[in-house]
Chain A
Amino acid sequence: MWKQPWGLKEGFAICIGLFLTGIILQITVGKIDWDLFAFPVNIITLGVFIAGIATMHITAQKVYLFKWMSRYQAAVTAMLGVVAVTVIMGVIRQKPFHVEVLGFESWLGFSQMLSAWPFILLYMWFTMLVGMVTLRRLFPFRLRNIPFLLNHAGLFIAITAAVLGSADMQRLEMTASIGSENPEWRAYNKLGEMKELPLAVKLNEFTIDEYPPKLILIDNETGKALPEGKPANLLLEEDFSVGNLLDWHIVVTQHIPEAASMATEDTLRFVEFHSMGAAYAVYVQAENTRTGEKKEGWISGGSFMFPYKAIRLSNEMSLVMPEREPRRYASDVTIYTEKGEVFESVIEVNKPFKVDGWKIYQLNYDHSKGKWSTISIFELVRDPWLPVVYAGIWMLIAGAVCMFLTAGKTRKEDKK
């Protein structure tokens, strides 16, 4: 080993060395606190990192290691090293950064892999090699190297910007209520600390469109949907009237999409009720196709005002209507900025609103009230490094297009 030219063995030795160094650092120094890299530390780190790679590139003819770093043997072993450490991450349940871990778990740090030294050193080595090989192909510049450069420079840019930019990223949660006098400008981070924002949100209206309710069978003892593992259901669309669940033939004779339950002397029945808190109710006749047993009655999923109502079909199972699933939920909001701008918008899942470097996402609502929720929870995200990461991502996409188009054409000459 270590006789020139170096090959895969030396590459693996370097990866194992980095891994072990990482373990030692993890035990002695402890996990990396990425918050320390907040601006301007990340810019300085990036400068040093790139300057380091450039220096190694320039001195590559003098130092064998640097020359070797842009060879396939270095690349393949670094990739396998990164794969190995990422597999470890994949098989160990990950915990959030701010959770304190103790003892053996903290020595290795594998349950918080993103701040563990072995992981970071191997990824850094991998990224350095990508940077080195990019520089080697960049000078002298040739047109036919463009696909190569898109792939390699794109990956380098995306990884470095994503990692170093992570400390500058802010993710905050804001709860806005309908009818509150002032727009909301306070939000909370993951640790529950309050942050005041340069923008404010007023919730005018919150709406949920729901899918039609379903009927399912549940086990009376465990409450689990039947048949266990792959529960069956009947979707109660408006024209639905007849269906089968396991041995039961089910006929819906009456639909009341907005209903209230009324307790009479001996039974519970449902009547039309077009107001807040209305529940979906259906009248069902069920017949067991094997035993001929018959049951009938009202079924409702209930709401925050009315209790749910099920039919007990047998000692083993009941017919119930679980909570309806939301098809779409959206908040009608007015947004005010510090500069005095006012925006009207509807924010929904997959349709965030962008303002002043912030993106406002529909995150949640009051589930106990369901579609009558008077609050809406937003996530506000600011990521100043995003354009750089996106530049890298689009370069990689362009590189992949080139790879697809040239598959089977250009590699013959590269092989030598």
Chain B
Amino acid sequence: MSWDNFTIFAIIAVILWIAGAVVAWKSKKELLVYLFTISGLAVFFAFILGMWISLERPPMRTMGETRLWYSFFLPMAGLITYSRWKYKWILSFSTILAIVFICINIFKPEIHNKTLMPALQSPWFAPHVIVYMFAYAMLGAAAIMAIYLLWFKKKDILATEMDLTDNLVYVGLSFMTFGMLFGALWAKEAWGHYWAWDPKETWAAVTWISYLAYIHFRLGKPRQYKTALWIMLISFIFLQMCWYGINYLPSAQGASVHTYNT
């Protein structure tokens, strides 16, 4: 399996996800929704697995490779949300977002070679990245919900919709906590300290505390929906800074142990 095969796998997966999203939107045939979306996930995961085997290392080193996981987890997060709360539009949104990330990978591919520096060769590597990508996907779904509620929904925001948003954030934040703390435990084994305020870690702290602020604001002011959603969207912007923004941030150039692109 090589990166050249990506387009064909991605197209099949996307078609299946779109089919699932359309069925979810138009009809009540839930079984078909699951069938299409899960098949899409299986096709996409087959590609990830193929890359894993042919690269002889987990495909998680470059930004392109983490985007791969993100495009995989988004429809999965969408499907979990759909199965629990039956929002007919959530799969359309998660599919669109997944397509955006797939397109970035198709049109701006990065080098994907076999080398993996010794610092990354650790049993912590896979859980650290997978858990973070799943968290990002859940929080991405929550951000989509916030955008929908703030700008697209014509009627008043319902308490049940805020509950859904809260639940997505709770799940996302708990996984983000795992990702961050697994990272700390790994850092102790690899670099001698569990927290070194490396730029990525600084922004991870910002993101984590910012989502905590959302949760506490919701508990303290449960009826101020819009302010809460704003806090969440700002948190999501911090998340982008943490994920890839620091690669472009002048203050972080050459200062991070978290860049493995070259």
Contact = CB atoms under 8 A, between A and B. Distances in A.
A400 B178 contact: yes
Nearest to A324: B115
Given A82-B209, A86-B209, A404-B175, A171 B114 contact: no
Counting chain B CB atoms within 10 Å of each CB, the highest count among A86, A396, A397 belongs to: A86
A351 to B, nearest CB: 8
Interface in A321-359: 325-329, 348-352, 359
A348 B251 CA distance: 31
B206 A87 contact: yes
A220 interface: no
Nearest to B124: A350
Nearest to A350: B122
A344 B220 CA distance: 57
Given A73-B220, A400-B177, A411-B219, A79 B111 contact: no
B250 A93 contact: yes
Question: What size tier do the contact residues of chain A reach?
Answer: 35 or more
Contact of A407 (B170, B190, B213): B170
Counting chain B CB atoms within 10 Å of each CB, the highest count among A231, A348, A411 belongs to: A411
B70 to A, nearest CB: 19
A141 interface: no
A94 B249 CA distance: 13
A76 B122 contact: no
Interface string B153-196: 00000000001001100110111011001001100111111110
Interface in A389-416: 389-390, 393, 396-397, 399-401, 403-404, 407-408, 411, 414-415
Given A408-B170, A411-B219, A94 B197 contact: yes
Contacts of A401: 174
B241 A90 contact: yes
A389 B194 contact: yes
Given A401-B174, A408-B167, A235 B113 contact: yes
Nearest to A389: B194
Interface in A358-374: 359, 361
Nearest to B221: A72
B203 interface: yes
A361 B191 CA distance: 8
Interface string B118-137: 11011000000000000000
A214 B221 CA distance: 58
Given A171-B192, A381-B193, A86 B185 contact: no
Given A94-B255, A211-B114, A400-B178, A114 B170 contact: no
Contact of A350 (B115, B121, B206): B121
Given A76-B213, A328-B121, A349-B121, A91 B178 contact: no
B4 to A, nearest CB: 12
Nearest to A91: B251
B170 A396 contact: no
Contacts of B116: 327
Given A86-B205, A415-B222, A397 B177 contact: yes
A214 B115 CA distance: 10
B196 to A, nearest CB: 10
B105 interface: no
A403 B173 CA distance: 9
B31 interface: no
Interface in A75-100: 75-76, 79-80, 82-83, 86-87, 89-94
Contact of B118 (A89, A326, A399): A326
B115 A211 contact: yes
B8 interface: no
Contacts of B71: none
A85 B113 CA distance: 39
A232 interface: yes
A359 B206 CA distance: 30
A379 interface: yes
A404 B170 contact: yes
Contacts of B220: 71-73, 75-76
A325 B113 CA distance: 12
Nearest to A348: B118
B82 to A, nearest CB: 15
A106 interface: no
Interface in A278-332: 325-329
A198 B170 CA distance: 47
Contact of A79 (B114, B119, B216): B216
B20 interface: no
A399 B174 CA distance: 8
A393 B193 contact: no
B240 interface: no
Interface in B202-227: 202-203, 205-206, 209-210, 212-213, 216-217, 219-222
A80 B262 CA distance: 36
A244 interface: no
Nearest to B179: A400
Contacts of A407: 166-167, 170-171, 174
Contact of A352 (B109, B189, B210): B189
Interface of A: 71-73, 75-76, 79-80, 82-83, 86-87, 89-94, 114, 162, 169, 171, 211, 214, 230-233, 235, 325-329, 348-352, 359, 361, 379, 381, 383, 386, 389-390, 393, 396-397, 399-401, 403-404, 407-408, 411, 414-415
15 contacts: A72-B220, A72-B221, A83-B209, A89-B202, A90-B241, A93-B250, A94-B251, A325-B115, A326-B117, A326-B118, A329-B118, A383-B193, A386-B188, A390-B185, A403-B173
Q: Which 8 A-B pairs have the closest CB atoms?
A: A72-B220, A407-B170, A349-B118, A400-B177, A404-B174, A79-B213, A93-B251, A400-B174
Given A80-B210, A407-B166, 13 more contacts: A71-B220, A79-B210, A86-B205, A89-B197, A90-B249, A171-B192, A349-B118, A386-B194, A397-B181, A404-B171, A408-B84, A408-B163, A411-B166
